[in-house]
Amino acid sequence: MPSMSAADNDRTPVTVLGLGAMGTALATTFLENGHPTTVWNRSTDKAEELVAKGAVRAASAPDAAAASPLVVLCVLDHHAVSEILDTVGDALPGRVLVNLTSGTPAQARAAARWAAEHGADYLDGGILADPQDIGTSNGFLLYSGPQDAFETREATLKALGGVTTYIGTDAGQAAVYFMALIGVGYETWISYLHTLALVGAENIKATTFAPFVTGMFSGMNELLTAMARATDDGYYPPDAGPLGVHAALMDDLIATRQASGIDVERLEHVKSLIDRRVAEGHGADGFSSLIETIGNPST
Ligand code: FVH
């Protein structure tokens, strides 16, 4: 008989504030894992399905926060977080407040200070998953804040599935990682869509072209690791080729996209960074040396 893990045995009562797509997925998963779950949402109708599954609907956010030692907040944005926190302060002493709402590192650090003033431990979290991934092996959930608070509640948080990663004691760190990672997502996806527009202009179907991109990405881990090492070392061997070669190649890429009527705004920005770096005498550096211009925008 396999031994039961701490997570398997854990039945900590949990409160979920916010029942949008993600909040509902969180509350459903806690219920399915046997946690007594109290829920609250600004629009009360969204609690109906969860009540039918055994959740307790609280009459107010303070009542909901008072109902459990672990309070999970997952609403649209920091404005919503602030409006809710303004009402629950007196219900929080002794509790762990886990904020899974997306926000900036500064907002997370301010919320952590607010929670401490109200006698609660604050963990900030980032969810790199879709609602349907919650409770499955997919997705990343990142946390930061007091390590003892995380360790106390880790077994319960692990019920949310995916890879549960504790980043560190600075409450803002999970938001740093989250914003950095979704930044990679947005800039990759928009670049990919421009590429699909380019091949589309040549009557090449996106699904025909896609395997060339997925194949390229599958081999990119080594380059990404090398670029990280170059960034940390401040030494830029010609990873992905020297900047002088990139400069010539980018002129051709910009011309090719322009010929197909596709915007080149971001490419021209990249080209301007390359030209600046080459002009500073770094034409033999690798692409990673652009980090020196990104961190120091031109005056
Ligand atoms: N959905 C996703 O795939 C992404 C995955 C990555 C992480 N995000 C973040 O999760 C937060 C919640 O996102 P969501 O998808 O659940 O958002 P909605 O379905 O739009 O639900 C929004 C809830 O927020 C409540 N709300 C909005 N404003 C207020 C307010 N001023 N006071 C109180 N509650 C407020 C809203 O309530 P109602 O409109 O139903 O009354 C919903 O419960 C978010 O940070 C994502 O970035 C999800």
Q: In ligand 1, which atom is closest to the CA atom of 101?
A: 45
Q: What is the pLDDT of residue 5?
A: 63
The answer to whether residue 82 scores a pLDDT higher than 70 is: yes
Long-range Cβ contacts of 217-222 (<8 Å, 24+ apart) = none
Decide if pLDDT at 2 tops 60. Answer: no
Q: How far is the CA of 98 from the centre of ligand 1 (A)?
A: 15
CA atoms within 13 A on the CB side of 75: 19
Start-to-end C-alpha separation, the chain: 66
Pocket mutation for ligand 1, best pick of 15, 29, 39, 76 (most atoms within 8 Å of C-beta): 76
Whether residue 6 is predicted with pLDDT greater than 70 in this model: the reply is no
Q: For 8-12, 143-147, 187-191, 201-205, which range has the lowest pLDDT when averaged over its residues?
A: 8-12
SS (HEC) of the chain: CCCCCHHHHCCCCEEEECCCHHHHHHHHHHHHCCCCEEEECCCHHHHHHHHHCCCEECCCHHHHHHCCCEEEECCCCHHHHHHHHHHHHHHCCCCEEEECCCCCHHHHHHHHHHHHHCCCEEEEEEEECCHHHCCCCCCEEEEECCHHHHHHHHHHHHHHCCEEEEEECCCCHHHHHHHHHHHHHHHHHHHHHHHHHHHHHCCCCHHHHHHHHHHHHHCCHHHHHHHHHHHHHCCCCCCCCEHHHHHHHHHHHHHHHHHCCCCCHHHHHHHHHHHHHHHCCCCCCEHHHHHHHHCCCCC
Give the Cα separation of 82 and 79 in Å (integer): 5
| Residue 46 beta carbon below 6 angstroms from any ligand 1 atom | yes
User: Is 83's C-beta closer than 6 angstroms to any atom of ligand 1?
Assistant: yes
Would the CB of 61 count as within 6 Å of ligand 1? Answer: no
* C-alpha dihedral (104, 121, 115, 54), degrees to nearest 10: 90
Whether the CB of 99 sits within 6 Å of ligand 1: no
Expressed in angstroms and rounded, the spacing between residue 208 Cα and the centre of ligand 1 is: 36
Residue 127 has pLDDT above 90, yes or no: yes
Q: What is the pLDDT of residues 170-209, one digit of tens each?
A: 999 999 999 999 999 999 999 999 999 999 999 999 999 9
Reply yes or no on whether the pLDDT at 137 is more than 50: yes
For 217-224, which contacts have Cβ atoms below 8 Å and span 24 or more sequence positions? none
What is the average pLDDT value for the chain, to the nearest integer? 94
pLDDT for residue 296 is more than 70: no
- Mean pLDDT score, 109-129: 97
| Confidence (pLDDT) at 107 | 97
Phi, psi of 15 (to 5 degrees): -110, 135
Beta strand pairing status for 163-168 and 70-73? unpaired
Mean pLDDT of 56-74: 98
The band of 263, judged by pLDDT with boundaries at 50, 70 and 90, is very high
Instruction: Report the atom number in ligand 1 closest to the C-alpha of 131.
Output: 3
Does the Cβ of 84 fall within 6 Å of ligand 1?
yes
Q: What is 178-294's CATH number? A: 1.10.1040.10
Q: Which of 75, 84, 138, 186 to mutate to test the pocket of ligand 1 (most atoms within 8 A of CB)?
A: 75
CA of 19 to the centre of ligand 1 (A): 7
CATH domain 6-169 topology: Rossmann fold (3.40.50)
Please state the rounded mean pLDDT for residues 162-173: 96
Count of all residues that appear for the chain in the document: 299
Q: Is residue 297 very low, low, confident or very high in pLDDT (cuts 50, 70, 90)? A: very low
- Joined together, the tokens standing for residue 8 give 């398997």
- pLDDT above 90 covers what percent of the chain? 92
Q: For position 298, what pLDDT does the model report?
A: 46
Please indicate whether residue 23, judged by its CB atom, sits closer than 6 Å to ligand 1: yes
Domain boundaries of the chain, sorted by first residue: 6-169, 178-294
User: What number is the average pLDDT over the span 236-251?
Assistant: 92
Q: Please name the amino acid found at residue 55.
A: A
Cα(46) to centroid of ligand 1, in Å? 12
β-bridge partners, 140: 128, 163
